[in-house]
């Protein structure tokens, strides 16, 4: 995990943990169920080495991000709001967005 910076941002009512590395165009790597940012460790290092600013968050309820108590806090609207807040925090105009769902 050399060179990967980890920090927390406040977005959409939660504290979200993110890992980031590199400079250049933004690549956002969003994990699926039931993973964390660590599922992207190899891609983070590879993409950063090839000139990208790579960000991989722990999504709401996973890893080191906040875990709201009520199931009603885990809708698609919350997920989208969390990611919009993250992009606002990163102050980027464009993003390359990659995600995955582990059963596929």
pLDDT digits (tens, 9 = 90+) for 7-17: 999 999 999 99
In a domain, 56, yes or no: yes
Q: Could you list the residue range(s) of the whole structural domain that residue 21 is in?
A: 5-99
In a domain, 95, yes or no: yes
What's 22's domain CATH number? Answer: 3.40.50.1820
In a domain, 30, yes or no: yes
Query: How many domains does one find in the chain?
Result: 1
Residue 67 DSSP SS3 = coil
The label of the residue with tokens 């190899």 reads 42
92 Cβ contact partners less than 8 Å away, ≥ 6 residues apart = 26
Number of Cβ within a 10 Å radius of residue 4 = 17
What is the distance between the alpha carbons of residues 39 and 70, in angstroms, rounded to a whole number?
Answer: 26
pLDDT score, position 2? 83
What stretches in the chain show pLDDT beneath 50? 104
Q: What is the pTM of this model?
A: 0.92
- What the block records as the tokens of 20 is 């980031």
pLDDT score, position 104? 47
pLDDT score, position 33? 85
pLDDT score, position 37? 97
């Amino acid at each position: 995990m050399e060179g990967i910076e980890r920090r927390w941002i406040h977005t959409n009512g939660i504290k979200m943990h993110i890992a980031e590395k590199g400079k250049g165009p933004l690549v956002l790597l969003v994990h699926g169920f039931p993973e964390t940012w660590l599922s992207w460790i190899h891609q983070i290092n590879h993409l950063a080495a090839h000139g990208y600013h790579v960000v991989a968050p722990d999504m709401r309820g996973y890893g080191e991000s906040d875990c709201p108590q009520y199931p009603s806090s885990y809708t698609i609207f919350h997920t989208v709001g969390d990611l919009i807040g993250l992009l606002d925090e990163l102050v980027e105009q464009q993003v390359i967005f990659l995600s995955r769902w582990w059963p596929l």
